Structure 1
Amino acid sequence: MNINDIKMVGIDQNTPIEIRERVSFGKEIKKALLKFKETYNAEVVILSTCHRSEIYVYSENIALKTIKDFFIEYFKVTEDELGQYLYILTGVDAVKHIFRVACGLESMVVGEDQILGQVKNAISISQENFASGKILNKLFRDAITLGKKVRTETGIKDLALSISYIAVKFISDEFKDLNDKKAFVIGTGEMGQIAIKNLISKGTKVYVSNRTHSKAVDLKKIIPEIEVVPYDDKYVQIARSDIVISATDAPHYTIDYEKFIKVYKGKKICMVDIALPRDIDPKIGEIEGVSIYTLDDLKKTADENKKKRIGFINVIEKIIESAVNNFVNWFKTLAIEPQIKNINKFADVISEIEFERVINKLSNIDERDKKNIEIALKRVAKKMSDLMIKHIKNDIINKKYEEVAIDFIDENGGNI
């Protein structure tokens, strides 16, 4: 077995959106999985998000070019069109990559949570369609476990760099639970889109408006979960909302105090103004029940978090390196799995033989004592076999006496 038989081909957020749109598996993951599996009979997992499309394969027989050709032909694009954006990784590099992805280090917003759910979804779909196997199941299971670990141990998810991401965090602190809340986002630019995606990931119903209505309609094609609101109806929608985020490039207030006060019904509303110049008339913040956060409020947190995050990334990199080493070591021991099974079988048989021998020499022994003797002999045999297996695995991992170790197992564990 060779760890370089783990292969990955894909593109990420560094690829222009007009290309990403053309090579997105979207809802066709199952179709693509089955097509690959039926054609090549190999382990395969597809990770598809708005920022990346990646195929992970484990096979001793399939060449990287075959996977690359499948990717290109499936989407009916040319190699020249993908050009420098298509990346190919094998072995330890592929292992490290999926670990970094699951930890959020390859995300646009470093450390974000959404990607972890997407990695879980990728392996779940593959397992449901019998497309993955022992190697990729283990790889993705370790990636998910690692992703949870770094977020819990480092707290990086609470240190967002993106202003929009921090805006949603402020709102989360205000409401505690954003599930089933209604949010209204004005503006469809990059900051507005990041806020929308983060709100949706938290279970929030999101309504969107833009002065150029067609841009909001186009955004719905990319993010179908949103509801588009005509710009002229924005004040009515604001009054219905729990959350309002405004991120436009207008030179004046897009939410005016006088117009707002006419529709406001007294409910609690959290507003976040991430525009410069400001979109929301600051007088609105003086109304009881309405709170407003501005760029100044958010930027302080962003600057503080940026300094902290650099240290966290270094810590996470070390955790990832350790996890990669653990996976590589596990992979190395797969070569001696048959021999390990023989050792365990040998230990079981020996304990049974010795049990019968002891019982035959004892008289007047009841069933309870017999059971205790049997348990004790099995426990001793297991401890001895476990110790032997541990040392043999270490020898294999460290490339010490590899042939001698396997020969020893075959000779002493294989002939019972």
Structure 2
Amino acid sequence: MTISMIGIDHDRAPVDIRALFAFTRKNAGEAMERLKEMSSVQGCIILSTCNRLEIWASHEENQKLSLYRCLCGLKNIDDDSYENYFTVRQDKEAVEHLFYLAGGLKSQILGEDQILTQIKDALNLAREHFTTDGVLEVLFRMAVTAGKKIKTEVPLAHGNPSVIHQAVRKLEEQGYTMRGKICMVIGNGEMGKVAAQTLRDAGADVTVTVRQYRSGMVSIPIGCSRIHYGERMKFLPLCDVVVSATASPNYTLREELFQDVKLTKPLLLLDLAVPRDIEPALGNKEEITLYDMDSFRSERFSPEAMESLEKAGAIVQEQMEEFFQWLVGRDIIPRIQEIRADAVQDLNLRIEKILRNTPMEQNDRENLLKAVDTAAGKVVNKMIFGLRDSLNQEAFLDCVAGLEKLYEE
């Protein structure tokens, strides 16, 4: 069994390229079902976030699988030039990547918490669409366990880091404070609520747009006001800051919508969505400053962060070893059972000649053969699993292969 993945992220591709390959929750479910229908794919999981897109698949070792071609087919993209933005990993390299990712060690903001939830959500979505298999199920569950252990034992981040927290911090470093600012947050999903709460905590006057303006149907952070999404352009001239964080495939703010809008003060636009929520051309207007997801990268790495990374790396290696022990055991048990059966049969053929010439009742002879079968099976198991415990993985697999050759004919 081979574990393969292909990924594109904020380190290798700008937001507009990432947007071409992003999936909504609904589209990801449909795409996984299509992937699973391929004869070579045993299981698949799609992880799609604002910062990255990853496709994971388990398949037979002798079956070649181009996940880039699969992805282009799902997206109706016929352009090989995008392949340079992707990273392909297999087996150990892929597993190590996922474990580091779950710990927040490959995020745009080191140690951020959201990726762990996103990995769990990706696994749950694959379960809902029946596209995961035993290998990916255990891999993703153990990656989540590794991520939780890193967050518990390694002081990577303090507070509740996210892109909006990073944005507020960097703007404050530049002398721009949110205290007293009038802010509008477009979008009331998970990221929108985090953004609204963060701005509120920073001292801003926050208004959130909602699609359904009915009391009690839509929750917003305490202390924030609400307006209907359709009223956003009327409210916008009053704002100092507008944050857009939706899952919409279309722009929430377009250049044409500003034709009848008169801005009397500088406007800061923060686009926290992939694909983009805010049309990039708006950043060319003199009175507007536009930031996107790639504008707030964290600096890498302080000496303290490097020390924490080493500790996290030790946890990753420990969890990886545990996963591969499970994986090898999963694949090796049937092979050991076959070796044991062949060895017991070999012993029986040799001992039957002796028993035929030994005077005893037929019933006693049959009982003795059964006892020999049981004892021989236990001895073979003890020898093989003893080798597993005393040898490294590669040497043990060589021993198993050698034993299998003894009984090939």
TM range (shorter): 0.5 to 0.7
2:16 corresponds in structure 1 to 18
- Change in Cα spacing, 1:88 to 1:198, as seen in structure 2 (3 Å) is farther
Q: What CA deviation, in whole Å up to 9, does each residue of 1:87-106 have, x standing for no partner?
A: 21112111111111111111
Q: Match for residue 387 of structure 2? A: 392
Separation of aligned partners in 2, 1:213 and 1:72: 43
Match of 1:362 in 2: none
Judging changes above 3 Å, is the alpha-carbon distance between structure 1 residues 205 and 306 closer, same or farther for their aligned structure 2 residues? farther
Partner in structure 1 of residue 319 of structure 2: 323
Change in Cα spacing, 1:58 to 1:401, as seen in structure 2 (3 Å) is: closer
Instruction: Please tell me the root mean square deviation across aligned C-alpha atoms, in Å.
Output: 5.0
Q: How do 1:198-277 and structure 2 match up within 5 A?
A: 205=220, 211=236, 216=242, 219-220=245-246, 222=248
Given that 2:29 and 2:129 are in contact with CA atoms closer than 8 Å, whether structure 1 keeps it comes out as yes
- The answer to whether the 8 A contact 1:168-1:199 is kept is no
Of 320-329 and 18-27, more deviation after overlay is shown by 320-329
**Cross-structure match for 1:54:** 54
Structure-2 change in CA distance of 1:150 and 1:384 (3 Å): farther
Distance, in Å, in 1 between the alignment partners of 2:327 and 2:53 is 26
Tell whether 2:78 aligns with 1:63. no
What is the letter of the counterpart of residue 387 of structure 2? I
Deviations 1:363-397 (A, max 9, x none): xxxxxxxxxxxxxxxxxxx9999865642333564
How do residues 14-413 of structure 1 correspond to structure 2 at under 5 angstroms? Answer: 14=11, 15-26=13-24, 27-40=26-39, 42=41, 43-60=43-60, 61-64=62-65, 66-158=66-158, 164-165=164-165, 186=183, 197=194, 205=220, 211=236, 216=242, 219-220=245-246, 222=248, 308-339=304-335, 390-394=385-389, 397-400=392-395, 402=397, 404-405=399-400
Distance 2:152 2:76 in 1: 41
Give the corresponding residue for 1:274. none
Q: CA deviation at 1:313?
A: 1.7
Q: How many Å separate the matches in 1 of 2:95 and 2:72?
A: 23
Q: For the structure 1 residues 407 and 84, does the alpha-carbon distance in structure 2 shift closer, same or farther, using more than 3 Å as the test? A: closer
Deviation at 1:408, TM superposition (A): 6.5
Equivalent-residue separation in structure 1 for 2:28 and 2:70 (angstroms): 14
After TM superposition, give the deviation of residue 398 of structure 1 in Å: 3.3
Alpha-carbon distance, 1:79 to partner:
3.3
Q: 1:220 to 1:407 in 2, by over 3 A?
A: closer
Where relative contact order (Cα < 8 A, 6+ residues apart) is larger, the structure is: 2
Aligned partners of 1:396 and 1:402 also within 8 Å = no
TM-aligned CA deviation for residue 317 of structure 1:
1.9
CA distance in 2 between counterparts of 1:396 and 1:335 reads 17
Indicate the SS of the match to 1:106: coil
148 and 307 in structure 1: CA distance in 2 versus 1, 3 angstrom threshold: same
For the residue of structure 2 that corresponds to 1:21, the secondary structure is: helix
Shift of 1:84: 2.5
Shift of 1:76: 2.1
Residues 386/104 of structure 1: CA separation in 2 closer, same or farther (3 Å cut): farther
Residue pair 1:58, 1:135 contacting (<8 A) in 2 also: yes
Q: Given residue 47 of structure 2, which amino acid in structure 1 is its aligned partner?
A: L
Gaps of 5+ in 1: 170-183, 227-247, 252-301, 346-381, 412-416
Which residue is 1:288 aligned to?
none
1:48 to partner: Cα distance: 1.1
The 1:165/1:343 distance shift into structure 2, 3 A limit, reads: farther
Aligned residues: 291
d(CA) in 1 for partners of 2:194, 2:387: 49
Shift of 1:120: 0.7
Compared CA separation, residues 341 and 396, structure 1 to 2 (3 A): farther
> Compared with structure 1, are the counterparts of its residues 200 and 250 closer, same or farther at alpha carbon in structure 2 (3 Å cutoff)?
closer
1:136-160 residue CA offsets vs partner (Å, 9 max, x unmatched)? 1111111000000000111324267
How far has the Cα of 1:216 moved from its partner?
Answer: 4.6
Counterpart residue identity of residue 307, structure 2: G
* Secondary structure of 2:394 counterpart: coil
- What one-letter code is carried by the residue in structure 2 that aligns with 1:29? A
One-letter amino acid matched to 2:5: M
Residue identity opposite 2:75 in structure 1: F
Q: What amino acid maps onto 1:317 in structure 2?
A: G
Letter of the aligned partner of 2:136 in structure 1?
L
Which amino acid counterpart does residue 392 of structure 1 have in structure 2?
L
Kindly indicate whether the alpha-carbon contact (under 8 Å) linking 1:23 and 1:75 is maintained by their aligned counterparts in 2: yes
2:380 & 2:155 partners in 1: Cα distance? Answer: 41
Inter-partner Cα distance in structure 2 for 1:100 and 1:129: 26
User: Which amino acid in the other structure matches residue 87 of structure 2?
Assistant: Y
Residues 147/196 of structure 1: CA separation in 2 closer, same or farther (3 Å cut): same
**Whole-angstrom distance in 2 between the partners of 1:307 and 1:187:** 38
Ranges in structure 2 where 5+ consecutive residues have no aligned partner? 170-180, 199-217, 227-231, 253-264, 269-297, 342-376
Report the alpha carbon displacement of residue 109 of structure 1 after superposing the two structures with TM: 1.3
Is the Cα contact below 8 Å between 2:7 and 2:86 reproduced in 1?
Answer: yes
Deviation at 1:402, TM superposition (A): 4.2
Given that 2:192 and 2:244 are in contact with CA atoms closer than 8 Å, whether structure 1 keeps it comes out as no
CA distance in 2, matches of 1:308, 1:185: 36
